[in-house]
């Protein structure tokens, strides 16, 4: 009977659509799924950080405010106990100096974290599977406050005080002053 089979097909198609929507929601809105791929060709870069804050997979990687790639994986190096961040950079940006440094910045006031690359001066460029050696971790609020408190108490007891002493952790190199995080300008 033609009429009822059209109906059945319609009902079946609807149910299929519903489940597809459910599958989409489960995989695309939570951490439990596979994410739809991106077009274009990329090369992979890694960088190690003492503390990545709440940097997430999928966060942008930018240079001079321009999006050049994305964070693809976050792992923990169990020997050095550092965070290993893997990113993919767009192949057309293939002349980034190999001594560039990667820092973790915050988008806006309460936004998520992203990685900013600052160019170095080397003649060689980053290639597939290279590692960025110069990194700067995320500014963690608690550590900052701890530093501040330590600074104040050190000023009270003169001599060797200042930064670099107790309470500061999570920064390789000197602890940066709590300057406002640069907000990358969006190039429309």
Residue ranges that bind other proteins, judged by CB under 8 A: 4, 7-8, 10-15, 17-19, 21-22, 24-26, 28-33, 35, 54, 56-60, 67, 70, 107-112, 114, 183, 186, 188
Q: How far apart are CB 96 and other proteins at their closest, in Å?
A: 19
Q: Which is nearer to other proteins, 33 or 173 (CB)?
A: 33
CA-to-CA distance for 39 and 34, rounded, in angstroms? Answer: 15
Q: How far apart are CB 124 and other proteins at their closest, in Å?
A: 28
Q: Which is nearer to other proteins, 58 or 173 (CB)?
A: 58
Q: Which is nearer to other proteins, 67 or 99 (CB)?
A: 67
Cα torsion 22, 75, 180, 151: sign = positive
Q: Which is nearer to other proteins, 25 or 148 (CB)?
A: 25
Q: How far apart are CB 75 and other proteins at their closest, in Å?
A: 16
C-alpha count within 13 angstroms, C-beta hemisphere, residue 102: 32
Q: How far apart are CB 23 and other proteins at their closest, in Å?
A: 9
CA-to-CA distance for 17 and 135, rounded, in angstroms? Answer: 46
Q: How far apart are CB 52 and other proteins at their closest, in Å?
A: 13
Sheet holding 130-132, edge to edge: 130-132, 42-49, 82-90, 66-77, 60-63, 113-118, 101-106, 134-136
Q: Which is nearer to other proteins, 171 or 181 (CB)?
A: 181
Phi first, then psi: give them for residue 11, nearest 5 degrees. Answer: -60, -45
Distances in Å between the Cα of 105 and the Cα atoms of 32, 93, 112, 124 are: 26, 21, 9, 26
């Amino acid at each position: 009977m033609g009429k009822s089979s059209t109906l059945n097909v319609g009902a079946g198609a609807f149910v299929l659509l519903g489940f597809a929507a459910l599958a989409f929601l489960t995989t695309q809105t939570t951490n439990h799924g596979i994410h739809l791929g991106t077009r274009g060709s990329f090369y992979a870069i890694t960088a190690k950080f003492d503390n990545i804050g709440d940097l997430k997979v999928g966060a942008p990687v930018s240079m001079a405010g321009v999006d050049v790639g994305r964070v693809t994986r976050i792992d923990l190096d169990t020997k050095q106990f550092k965070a290993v961040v893997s990113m993919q950079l767009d192949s057309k940006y293939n002349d980034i100096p190999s001594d560039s440094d990667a820092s973790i910045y915050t988008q806006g006031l309460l936004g998520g974290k992203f990685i900013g690359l600052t160019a170095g001066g080397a003649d060689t460029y980053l290639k597939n599977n290279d590692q960025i050696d110069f990194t700067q971790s995320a500014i963690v609020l608690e550590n900052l406050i701890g530093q501040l408190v330590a600074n104040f108490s050190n000023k009270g007891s003169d001599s060797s005080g200042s930064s670099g002493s107790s309470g500061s952790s999570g920064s390789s190199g000197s602890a940066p002053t709590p300057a406002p995080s640069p907000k990358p300008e969006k190039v429309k």
